[in-house]
Amino acid sequence: MSTKIKDTNSVGSKIFKAITYVILILFALLAILPILWLIMSSFKTSQEYQLDRLGLPKGIFYKNYIEAWKRGNFGVYIINSVVYTSITTIAICILGMMSGFAFAKIPNKATKGIYASYVVGILMTLQSIMIPLFIIINQVKLYDTKLGVLIPYIGIGLPMGVYLCTEFIRSVPNALVESARIDGAPYGRIFFGIIVPMSAPVATTLAILTVSGTWNEFMLINMLTSSTKNKSLPVGIQSFAGSLSTDYGKLFASLTIGLLPMLIFYLVFRKEITKGVAAGAVKG
Amino acid sequence: MKGTEVSKKREDRIGQAPKNFLGLSSRGEEVMAYWTFVLPGFLIYLFVMAFPTFFAAFLSLTNYRGGALFGPKSVIWGNIAPERKMKIIGFDYYAQMFHDKYFWLALKNNMWIVFISVFGQIPLGFIMAYLIFRGMIKGKDFFQTVIYLPCVISTVVIGRLWGAFTAPNGALPDLIRLFKPGYVAGNSTHPMIPVLFVILWMYTGTYLIIFLANLQKIDTSVIEAAKIDGATEMQALRYIILPALSGVIVTSAILAISGSLKSFDLIYVMTSGGPAKQTYVLSIFMYDSAFKGAPNYPLANAVSMVMCIISFTMIGITKAVEKKFGGRE
């Protein structure tokens, strides 16, 4: 009797497994085919694309990339993106650990209120304040400057950073900090000597999340910059793509250039990124 | 031996200290240190996020349409002609906003995005996570990586890619013609459909990851035990899996609803709100009021306030739900 149940179960589970594979492979294809189509089309000449928009390219027409790179200023944009992303990430990690240390280990009545305001900042919809932010950046004469992009980026990423660091540093044993205090160590030395080295894991997670968020940011930097020397890669691609009318080869080549840095970053750090996504949702 | 000596030394010092065991001078040092660590970040945060919110509330009640706010030529207190000065005029621009049919169209399109998120992304994400979890299949990591991939790519690339793909002279009409010869691509009667499809395509992976992470916390032996007792798969889903995920499902739904306000990049790149403003959402409506033609900042700020109010309401609901379901881990 019991073996019979087991048998039907295993047949059922085999069918279930097969259906599962079919459905998941379909979804995976749906997710990846448009991206493969883009990369494939980037190797066609514009005429070839207009004649056959779905087929494989006849050859590897890599000139699209050379021309797009030459005309699109992508070198400048990539350097700018690296500058924005790295400074923002470093600043958020340092400021996040500093605030996290103070909130978690230095008693103060202000902690409750300030920390709560950061938590509101995590959930706040940034889009709702873009126009006032633009007016303010304009008024303090930071429009179209790198600083005028970096300050908003740091301020926007900070709530998440403070939250993650505070929660992590809370788990550092109080005894460590207290005994250092009793031995007369100033808070600065405790921070650099104990907290920073111990916070390496949370700083890594935070850095990976901040890099992927900052690199792709488009709305603010599109509004806050106007000259080539300050635009980031997404803004540069948007304006370059806008200048092409039917030059599809160069369009697809420039989009592929825009795709590659994040694609590589994602494939390297996918475990950490998915972990961060899952944790972010639970945190709410 | 050495250890006891050290701890004895410490005890001595504690013994010497007054009531507050760190002493008065170190209490002052403590306060100093606290603010040194907290203020740099907090000031940036206030400047970038808190101040603009209040500033928008103020500007939405004025007729400010540009010009210096500070310095000698300030429109508030500067030495300029009185008719150029900024005036507080109350809720006129809110009235203008509520009488603008495109505001309502934008709000309706935002609701469509909420709809596709709650009834598209979440169920699809759940089904995929459930299949991966219960199917006990190989390549779990592979499927998760591939399905989440669209979410990490720049929205500009995604928007342009789909824009080119779905254009009347793009690849999609060719694809349709493979199945339905003679198909002629015209202007769609529902311009939001491609946008909604791309939103579904792009963000469903997020919910797959969220649900899978939480499914993996369920003790599978409970499900197996129920199965041995004769429970069907549907019963296991209904009585074990769904109750265990209820908090996450509710939190995800709220995230999806408030996330719909965030749709700016994709629509800006794909359609810029067109054709004929048919794909307007609140953020694009606000952007166009501020930057298209003569800047109408008060109107833009009024829209901004509406979005802030929706956003803060959602935050309040999230917090209440978290308290009820204990969603925080």
Question: In Å, how far is B233's CA from the nearest CA of chain A?
Answer: 10
A-proximal residues of B, 310-329, CB under 8 Å: 310-312, 314-315, 318-319, 322, 327-329
Per-residue pLDDT tens digits for A245-282: 778 888 999 999 999 999 999 999 988 888 888 876 44
φ, ψ (nearest 5 deg) of residue A180: -65, -35
- Across the interface, which of A38, A96, A181 has its CB nearest the CB of B161? A38
Nearest to B49 among A99, A110, A124 (CB): A124
The 3-state DSSP class for residue B20 equals: coil
- Does some domain include residue A22? yes
Contacts of B135 (CB under 8 A, 6+ apart): A16, A17, A20, A21, A24
Q: Do A152 and B48 touch (CB under 8 A)?
A: yes
Same domain, A41 and A145: no
Asked if A172 is an interface residue toward chain B (Cβ–Cβ < 8 A), one would say no
Task: Kindly list the residues from chain B whose CB atom is less than 8 angstroms away from the CB atom of residue A30.
Answer: 201
Asked if pLDDT for residue B326 goes beyond 80, the answer is no
Residue A1 scores a pLDDT above 70: no
* CATH 1.10.3720.10 location in chain B: 92-325
| Interface residue B39 vs chain A (CB under 8 A) | no
Tell me the per-residue pLDDT of A115-164, one tens digit each, with 9 for 90 and over: 999 988 887 888 888 888 999 999 899 999 999 999 999 999 999 999 99
- Residue A276's pLDDT is 81
Cβ neighbours of residue A88 closer than 8 Å, sequence gap 6 or more = A150, A153, A154, A157, A210, A214
**Does residue A242 sit at the B interface (CB-CB below 8 Å)?**
no
pTM: 0.86
Per-residue pLDDT, averaged over B207-217, amounts to: 90
The answer to whether position A62 is within a domain reads no
Per-residue model confidence (pLDDT) at position A14:
80
Pair B149, A31: CB distance under 8 Å: yes
From B63's Cα to the closest Cα of chain A, the distance in A is 14
Q: Choose the weakest-confidence range: A1-5, A21-25, A114-118, A171-175.
A: A1-5
Q: What is the pLDDT of residues A183-222, one digit of tens each?
A: 888 899 999 999 999 999 999 989 998 998 899 999 999 9
> Over chain B, what is the mean pLDDT?
82
User: Does B193 lie at the interface with A, CB-CB under 8 angstroms?
Assistant: no
> In the predicted model, what is the mean pLDDT of residues B16-42?
73
Residues A45 and A89 in one domain: no
pLDDT band at residue B59 using 50, 70 and 90 as cut-offs? confident
pLDDT given for residue A223 in this prediction: 93
Residue A6 has pLDDT above 50, yes or no: no
> Which residues from chain A sit within 8 angstroms of residue B53, using beta carbons?
124, 128-129, 132
pLDDT, position A190: 92
Q: What is the CATH number of the domain that holds A100?
A: 1.10.3720.10
* A75-116 pLDDT tens trace: 999 999 999 999 999 999 999 999 999 999 999 999 999 999
The beta-carbon neighbor of B307 closest among A32, A127, A188 is A127
The pLDDT of residue B8 is above 60: no
Count of domains forming chain A = 2
Residues of B in contact with A248 (CB under 8 A): 164
Mean per-residue pLDDT for B80-104? 82
Q: Does the beta carbon of B14 lie under 8 angstroms from any beta carbon of chain A? A: yes
What CATH superfamily is the domain B92-325?
Answer: MetI-like (1.10.3720.10)
Chain A CB contacts of B264 under 8 Å are: 127, 130, 219
| B119: DSSP letter | I
Model confidence band, residue A7 (pLDDT cutoffs 50, 70, 90): very low
Residue A37's domain comprises 2-51
Looking at the fold, whether A224 and A84 belong to one and the same domain comes out as yes
A26 and A149: one domain?
no
Q: Where are the beta strands (DSSP E) in chain B?
A: none
**DSSP letters along A165-225, please?**
HHHHHHTS-HHHHHHHHHTT--HHHHIIIIIHHHTHHHHHHHHHHHHHHHHH--HHHHHH-
**Same-domain pairing of A85 and A196:** yes
